[in-house]
Amino acid sequence: AAPQGPPVYVDLAYLPGSWSARTVDEEFFRRIRSLCYVVSGDDHLKEGVLRPLLDALLAGKHQWGIDIQVTLIPTFDSAVMHEWYQETHERQQELGITVLGSNSTVAMQDETFPACKVEF
């Protein structure tokens, strides 16, 4: 277990992908307080740990005790994400969490991929 200490505030945090995503729990979100969390890693391993990770965000943010707006930025489309969004939408609003979706695409060289613009 990590030693107790004050939370760390950042503007942007990338959440670990693949097997490392299993390390992101309620304590992570209690201690790493970000204005924006990027959820990346469109792979089968991420799908298996995505729901617990998203639920941990809600539980950890609940413990902040201060009103800071948080934006969650998924970089891939996921049935798990859609289900979580629908089931917890009211709770997200109570906690000041916005899930950023985008229908924009970026064309770069020979590929096109979804994208969104984040400004600070």
Q: What is the spatial distance between Cα 120 and Cα 117, in angstroms, rounded to a whole number?
A: 10
**Residues facing 94 on adjacent strands:** none
Q: What is the pLDDT of residues 14-37, one digit of tens each?
A: 988 666 777 889 999 999 999 999
Most confident of 1-10, 56-65, 93-102: 56-65
Answer yes or no: is pLDDT of 45 > 60.
no
**Cα→Cα distances 48→19, 28, 53, 80, Å:** 10, 18, 10, 9
Higher-scoring residue by pLDDT: 18, 75: 75
**Full-model pTM:** 0.82
